[in-house]
Amino acid sequence: MILVDEKDNALGYDTRENCHLGEGRMHRAFVVFLFNSKKELLVQKRSSLKLLWSNYWDVSVTSHVLRDEDYLSASARALKNELAITSAHPRRVLDFTYVVPFGKYSENEYCVLLVGDYDGSVNPNPDEVAAIRYNSLEDLRRDMRTKPDDYTPWFKIAVHRFSLMPTSAR
């Protein structure tokens, strides 16, 4: 994975394991919000096979940027791998950093939020996704307030930051 500083300057590479052990090493990651024509967000429940935050509700797609990828090509890879989507073209809307521990691991990421529109079919990869659903942002924020432990930390951050953006910038 690509190691970065808090301004997303590349510093080198390290393994997935090393990037997540202990306090972790800051690396590039991204999250994708896919909205349908009803303005509902596609959310996924992470597979029980996931090492970190298995069975938590999450963004439409999330992953890391790998060597020789940029954020857009990495998102295309993840959309195809997780949901069999090849025709969504999300755009970059905001960036954030965060560090969150999880047992002997942690997330320490420079994260980019990409947002796109998509009304096509979704075929979740069971190794990655346990379930999908669609929610309005209002319903999602309400559920996150009442059941915060059901959601990944980066999802809560991304929803909060996205909700603060002017509608015209989304």
DSSP letter string over 106-131?
EEEEEEEEEEEE--S-----TTTEEE
**Number of domain units in the chain:** 1
pLDDT at 168: 76
pLDDT at 166: 83
| Torsion sign, CA atoms 126, 107, 78, 156 | positive
Listed residue (128, 11, 127) closest to 67, CA to CA: 11
Structure tokens at 84: 């069999």
CB-based contact 31:152 (threshold 8 Å): no
CATH classification at residue 139: 3.90.79.10
Say whether pTM exceeds 0.85.
yes
Residues of the chain with pLDDT under 50: none
Domain that holds residue 159: 2-169
pLDDT at 37: 97
pLDDT at 147: 98
